[in-house]
């Protein structure tokens, strides 16, 4: 029961933060985040071949193969922390932006004194759910 009570604010924020989704596309919010924030490096198809990926010395990972690289399990929490970037886990070589900070700046105080963090986490979570949905 305590777990449900702790998750309720996050789930509520997810519902409030996500734009209206088409009935046939439950990952539209995450795909929108991905296309706006990730596709330039990782590619529109998440294959690691984005238009600015050639500017980096380290290879850009194919995000469709996260599950395959983790023994068939999608590491939701690890990917969440990498995308968020505010918890100390550094992304692959650190050229990846810290989306938690970016989203936090965009949200500002619009979520009220307690809602801003939930809105930030909801955006990150939508992106993580989208990445999980495209696994091969």
Q: For 24-61, how does the pLDDT look when each residue is reduced to its tens digit (9 = 90+)?
A: 588 999 999 999 989 999 999 999 999 998 888 888 99
pLDDT in tens, 83-123: 888 776 555 455 666 677 777 777 776 666 666 778 888 88
Give pLDDT, residue 1: 46
Structural domains of the chain ordered from first start: 2-133 (1.10.760)
Which of 11-15, 70-74, 95-99, 120-124 is most confident?
70-74
Q: pLDDT band for 11, please (50, 70, 90 cuts).
A: very low
Give pLDDT, residue 115: 67
How far apart CA 94 and CA 89 sit, in angstroms, is 10
CB distance 130 to 33 below 8 Å: yes
Structure letter (DSSP) for residue 49 = -
How far apart CA 3 and CA 5 sit, in angstroms, is 5
User: pTM for the whole thing?
Assistant: 0.72
**What count of Cα atoms within 13 Å lies in the side-chain half-sphere of residue 79?**
22
């Amino acid at each position: 029961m305590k777990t449900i009570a702790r998750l309720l604010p996050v789930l509520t924020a997810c519902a409030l933060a996500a734009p209206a989704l088409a009935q046939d596309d439950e990952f539209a919010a995450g795909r929108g985040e991905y296309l706006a924030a990730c596709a330039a490096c990782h590619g529109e198809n998440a294959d690691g071949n984005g238009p600015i990926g050639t500017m980096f010395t380290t290879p850009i990972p194919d995000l469709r193969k996260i599950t395959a690289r983790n023994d068939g399990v999608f590491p939701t929490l690890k990917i969440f922390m990498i995308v968020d970037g505010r918890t100390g886990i550094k992304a692959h070589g650190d050229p990846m932006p810290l989306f938690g900070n970016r989203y936090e700046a965009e949200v500002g105080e619009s979520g009220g004194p307690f809602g801003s963090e939930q809105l930030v986490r909801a955006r990150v979570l939508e992106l993580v759910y989208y990445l999980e949905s495209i696994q091969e």
